[in-house]
Structure 1
Amino acid sequence: MAMTQESGIQYEPVAEIGGGAYGTVYKARDKQSGQFVALKSVRVQTDQEGLPLSTVREVALLRRLEQFDHPNIVKLMDVCATLRTDQETKVTLVFEHVDQDLKTYLEKAPPPGLPVSRIKDLMRQLLCGLSFLHSHRVLHRDLKPENILVTSRGQVKLADFGLARIYSCHMALTPVVVTLWYRSPEVLLQSTYATPVDIWSTGCIFAEMFRCKPLFCGESEVDQLTKIFSVIGLPSEDEWPTDVTLSRQNFCPQSPQPITDSVPEISEEGADLLLKMLTFDPLRRISALSAQEHRFFSDQPDNS
């Protein structure tokens, strides 16, 4: 897979648009086309060959997804690699630039918040992008309102997917506080995980679209799990994963509470979909594909 060497000169940074777990993000102008792009760089340790194979593999996968030109996926326009030292290479990913994220979009919604028709539209697009990623065995791993972009025409685009893998070695070196609010129980418990992690995050975001504020705001892994169990109930001993150090005994017994206590504005169909997303056992959690077929998205309210 070819990476452009030293092509950072083609992009002229115009503003810093946020520093996150993955380092500083810049809005830049492509000198050739004049269009705005978002630049995300990471420094990776290199071997004798130049670039670590894992990074090359991950970037190749992102590039392959690009060929499908999916409407709900942010475009990866270029990858630039600059050799900094013999041991270190700076990899810059060049994405299309979208002015606002879902967090800003929700904050800007006038009271009483988004109409249900808009929530349906946003969720439908979000699930469409997610089904696409999952069908290509790509996990997002860090889905939250900040990396769901919303264009001025109301188009939803998922950003930062696949980056968790590219940055994981780099992450250990950065003392950035990463939010736990959208993390699934299996990630919080450090159990094995797969595509259902993204569905849990999507459920948290779905609830937030109705509430206009996050659903579970924990300050530590244990606090986050406690807040989750206060809504969905403490899972049974049988459901508790066996490969984790944190035992079920660390938590008080809790019964599930009606989801409408936490999300009073949600409809019956919406509540059913939300609970299917916020299912503790990842194997029983709804998939992105099945969620798209849920009756919440049918235009006629299902009263049967």
Structure 2
Amino acid sequence: MASPKVGRGTTNGILVEKNSSQLMWHIAVMITAFFRSERKSDADVNRYQALKVLRAEPVLYDVLYKEVEILKRVRDADPTHPGYEHVVHLINDFHVNSVFGTHIAMLFPVFGQTLQPSWTSMLPVRTLREVMKQLLLALDYLHSKCGVIHTDIKGSNIMLQIQDTHAINKQIACEPARALANVFLKNEIRQVVEIPISQSQPISVPIFGRKLKICLADFGTAEWASSTHQTVILGKLLRPPEVVLNGCWDCTVDIWATGCFIVEMLDGSPLFQWKVTKNIIGEQHYLSTVTKQVGPVPLELQSRCTRWREFFNDKVLLRRPTTKVPSIRERLVARHSEMSPLAADSLTALVLQMMRPNPAHRCSAAEALRHEWFDLDLEEGAREISVGIDEL
């Protein structure tokens, strides 16, 4: 089957993953023909784009096409909103036929690396605060203007924007195109097609000592906010109580996951734990760490969650591990001793507002942006880090 994320394309060819299957080569050749037919001028040759090809799944076409419809709403809803520039924008979509069926292909701008806690935790707090602000602006745009729930907020779906194409040109220059010979295109003409193969993805851009600009990407599991949802979403360490307990959820799941990500971005490791022991299953351990970090799961969720009785007896969690966990405040300052007590208290308060166990009481993205944390003076005592990405 085709990989959901194939690689990067240009108007003169396509970049695919080095270890892609033979089907990827088949699709790549056909898409190369598409790019050539769509090229409007010679100037388009140097315009790089990212490509995503969906699997040809045996499901209703409307289900597969939902991602495209959501992306079009995100692209067109309100370009004047300050969060618009921090969400991915669909450039074009088309179809590719293969022996497996019809694939939906989408073109996007090319982005840099994703936000990984292994290096974000090394950044100054003032830089991370700007990243938080941009992410919340993106969520406010999605929730208030687009009516879209992202449902998969995590570092690997938050990418750095490339503000200088030199990084792309440099990487492409180091990776010469390989030739695919004896290939039949739709016009039945045998010819050689050169397809550059990326040796490393994504494109690396400088991180430290720079002003970062992020973009929220991957709307493959996004949902319309106007619908009722009760499916399991998010990674298991990012799920709010209503998702773990199989209750209905809404836009506030994005806010919860963002709170988790903020702690992970500063601390370098996940906020919650998911462990299986002889007497305790993963969900029980997870819910226990949730209650220790952000407070008890409210009884109001009982009537709305079908799995409540599996884990609770009235208000009490049935099985609770005795493992001690550091507080959110301790996690936030563990690698950022330069953060003043006032700043640490303010950021902790913001995260706790975003991660209230009762989804009805969580703050919205717009409310989070108005929090005092974003107005505090963090310059005094802030670390100056100026190392290159190659030194990591």
Compute the TM-score of the two structures, normalised by the length of structure 1: 0.75
Q: Does 1:213 align with 2:269?
A: yes
User: For residues 113 and 241 of structure 1, do their structure 2 counterparts lie closer, same or farther at Cα, with a shift above 3 Å needed?
Assistant: farther
Q: Distance in 2 between matches of 1:251 and 1:212?
A: 28
Q: Does 1:97 align with 2:98?
A: no
Deviation at 1:37, TM superposition (A): 2.6
Contact 2:298 2:357 in 1 (8 A): no
Deviation at 1:253, TM superposition (A): 9.4
User: For residues 11 and 55 of structure 1, do their structure 2 counterparts lie closer, same or farther at Cα, with a shift above 3 Å needed?
Assistant: farther
Q: Distance in 2 between matches of 1:116 and 1:108?
A: 13
Contact 2:159 2:215 in 1 (8 A): yes
* CA deviation profile, 1:197-256 (whole Å, cap 9, x unmatched): 000110011112221222124254443323322322332434445332242233439999
Deviation at 1:270, TM superposition (A): 0.4
Could you tell me which residue of structure 1 aligns to residue 364 of structure 2? Answer: 287
Could you tell me which residue of structure 2 aligns to residue 128 of structure 1? Answer: 137
The amino acid that maps onto 1:154 is: L
* CA deviation profile, 1:105-138 (whole Å, cap 9, x unmatched): x4235xx722221121001100001100111110
Contact 1:196 1:282 in 2 (8 A): yes
SS in 1 for 2:111: coil
Could you tell me which residue of structure 2 aligns to residue 4 of structure 1? Answer: none
Q: Distance in 2 between matches of 1:82 and 1:157?
A: 27
The counterpart of 1:190, out of the listed 246, 259, 283, is: 246
Q: Distance in 1 between matches of 2:67 and 2:119?
A: 35
User: For residues 251 and 196 of structure 1, do their structure 2 counterparts lie closer, same or farther at Cα, with a shift above 3 Å needed?
Assistant: farther
* CA deviation profile, 1:239-285 (whole Å, cap 9, x unmatched): 44533224223343999974323333461110110100111111101
Number of aligned residue pairs: 268
Matches within 5 A, 1:126-205: 126-135=135-144, 136-151=146-161, 152=205, 154-161=212-219, 163-165=220-222, 179-205=235-261
SS in 2 for 1:99: strand
Could you tell me which residue of structure 1 aligns to residue 184 of structure 2? Answer: none
Q: Does 1:13 align with 2:69?
A: no
Could you tell me which residue of structure 2 aligns to residue 237 of structure 1? Answer: 299
Could you tell me which residue of structure 1 aligns to residue 92 of structure 2? Answer: 78
* CA deviation profile, 1:159-211 (whole Å, cap 9, x unmatched): 013x1158xxxxxxxxxxx7322222222222101100000110011112221
User: For residues 14 and 159 of structure 1, do their structure 2 counterparts lie closer, same or farther at Cα, with a shift above 3 Å needed?
Assistant: same
User: For residues 232 and 9 of structure 1, do their structure 2 counterparts lie closer, same or farther at Cα, with a shift above 3 Å needed?
Assistant: closer
- Give the RMSD, CA atoms, in angstroms: 3.5
Q: Distance in 2 between matches of 1:18 and 1:199?
A: 36
Contact 2:288 2:321 in 1 (8 A): no
Matches within 5 A, 1:215-294: 215-218=271-274, 220-240=282-302, 242-247=304-309, 248-249=312-313, 250-252=318-320, 258-264=327-333, 265=336, 267-294=344-371
Q: Distance in 1 between matches of 2:19 and 2:131?
A: 23
User: For residues 15 and 205 of structure 1, do their structure 2 counterparts lie closer, same or farther at Cα, with a shift above 3 Å needed?
Assistant: same
User: For residues 99 and 58 of structure 1, do their structure 2 counterparts lie closer, same or farther at Cα, with a shift above 3 Å needed?
Assistant: closer
Contact 1:186 1:193 in 2 (8 A): yes
Q: Distance in 2 between matches of 1:148 and 1:36?
A: 19
Identical residues among aligned pairs (%): 26
The amino acid that maps onto 2:53 is: S
User: For residues 197 and 84 of structure 1, do their structure 2 counterparts lie closer, same or farther at Cα, with a shift above 3 Å needed?
Assistant: same
SS in 2 for 1:215: coil
The amino acid that maps onto 1:59 is: V
* CA deviation profile, 1:88-109 (whole Å, cap 9, x unmatched): 4211222212121111xx4235
Contact 1:107 1:212 in 2 (8 A): yes
Contact 2:10 2:48 in 1 (8 A): no
Q: Distance in 2 between matches of 1:156 and 1:291?
A: 18
User: For residues 107 and 262 of structure 1, do their structure 2 counterparts lie closer, same or farther at Cα, with a shift above 3 Å needed?
Assistant: closer
Structure ranking higher on relative contact order (CA contacts 8 Å, 6+ apart):
2
Q: Distance in 1 between matches of 2:360 and 2:325?
A: 19
Unaligned runs of 5+ in 2: 1-8, 162-204, 206-210, 224-233, 276-281, 337-342, 379-392
